[in-house]
Structure formats: structure tokens, C-alpha cells
């Protein structure tokens, strides 16, 4: 395998393994914000998409990826923010959804849709699985999550907003 290809593989592995600073059980690959790794003008470029414009974790994620790349021997690699197409909860991997549920955060149910945007969603409790839940607040521990309560087990939990 050529050195250039090895560099791309190393860069992808390094960036993919970086944990999300707000939900440390998820990697950037699980979350779906790692959009690609390519070689451009002789340099490795890692492309990331923030979960939403203005996400406070964006700069921290960029610095964490730059550090991971430097530790992988790719200090001259660049990190680029890509805004189109925008990130969606549909981009969270199946493994990421499993990790969210195990961590106690309800993963988004299915595809982002107009119904979800206007609050006509059903969210299953990540602890007991009941669909008898209610939204307590549109804002949870981070702006991309809402606070819910399970009527069956009475536990509060965060749920990803479908975006």
C-alpha cells in the first residue's frame, strides 16, 4: 500500500476515534460528524460537519481532531468544516444509537421528519423501553437534546431532537 493511502487510513482512524466532548460514549464516527478524509494539494484533509451551526463543541472537536492527527504522525494535516449537506440525526450510526441508549439517552427514533420538528414524536424510555413518556422541556443537557420523563418508571432522560 502506498504511503499516501496509509496516511489517509491513519487520519481516518485517528479522527474517527475522537470522543464527542458532550457525549463521551460516542466517537465522531458514531455521531456521524466525520464526513471524510482526502488528500488535497499534498496534505491530508479531515472534513467535519457540526451537529448544528453555533454548536459550542465545534472548536473543541476541531482541536481534539488536530491533536489526534498530530499524535498519529500527521501534524501537517488540516481539519476543514463542511456545512453542506447539514448534519442530521439520521447520520448517527446504528452503533452510536446503541451506545446512546446504553448510556441513558434516547436516540432519535427513525428518520428526521416534519412530524418530529413540530413535536409530534414518540420517544421510548432508554431505561425501561416504555413509550409512555412526556417532554418536560425542549432543552436538555445540551441544545441538541430535550428533557423527557418516563411515566412508567418515572425516570427523567435526555432525548436527541430529530434534526
Question: Distance between CA 52 and CA 118 in Å, rounded?
Answer: 18
Q: What is the mean pLDDT of the chain?
A: 89
Among 28-32, 46-50, 134-138, name the one with the lowest average pLDDT. 134-138
Q: What is the predicted pLDDT for the residue at 122?
A: 81
CB 118, CB 138: distance < 8 Å: no
- Sheet containing 145-150: which strands, arranged edge to edge? 105-106, 156-160, 145-150, 133-137
Confidence of residue 109 (pLDDT cuts 50, 70, 90): confident
Q: pLDDT per residue over 73-99, tens digit each?
A: 999 999 999 999 999 889 999 999 999
Distance, in Å, from the CA atom of 57 to the CA atom of 31, rounded to the nearest integer, reads 13
How many angstroms separate the CA atoms of 62 and 69, rounded?
A: 11
For the chain, where do the domains classified as CATH 3.30.300.130 start and end?
Answer: 3-87
pLDDT value, residue 120: 54
Contact (Cβ atoms closer than 8 angstroms) between residue 15 and residue 66: no
CATH topology of domain 3-87: GMP Synthetase; Chain A, domain 3 (3.30.300)
Report the predicted TM-score, pTM, of the whole model to 2 decimal places.
0.83
Strands 78-81 and 43-48: parallel
Q: What values do phi and psi take at 28, rounded to 5? A: -65, -30
Amino acid at each position: 500500500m502506498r504511503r499516501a493511502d496509509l496516511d489517509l487510513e491513519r487520519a481516518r482512524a485517528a479522527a474517527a476515534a475522537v470522543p464527542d466532548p458532550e457525549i463521551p460514549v460516542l466517537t465522531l464516527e458514531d455521531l456521524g460528524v466525520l464526513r471524510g478524509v482526502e488528500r488535497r494539494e499534498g496534505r491530508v484533509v479531515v472534513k467535519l460537519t457540526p451537529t448544528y451551526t453555533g454548536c459550542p463543541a465545534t472548536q473543541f472537536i476541531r482541536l481534539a481532531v488536530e491533536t489526534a492527527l498530530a499524535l498519529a504522525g500527521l501534524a501537517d494535516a488540516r481539519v476543514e468544516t463542511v456545512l453542506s449537506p447539514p448534519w442530521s440525526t439520521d447520520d448517527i450510526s446504528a452503533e452510536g444509537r446503541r451506545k446512546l441508549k446504553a448510556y441513558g439517552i434516547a436516540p432519535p427514533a427513525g428518520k428526521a421528519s416534519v412530524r418530529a420538528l413540530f413535536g409530534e414524536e414518540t420517544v421510548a424510555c432508554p431505561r425501561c423501553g416504555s413509550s409512555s413518556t412526556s417532554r418536560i422541556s425542549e432543552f436538555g443537557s445540551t441544545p441538541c437534546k430535550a428533557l423527557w420523563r418516563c411515566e412508567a418508571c418515572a425516570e427523567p432522560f435526555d432525548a436527541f431532537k430529530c434534526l
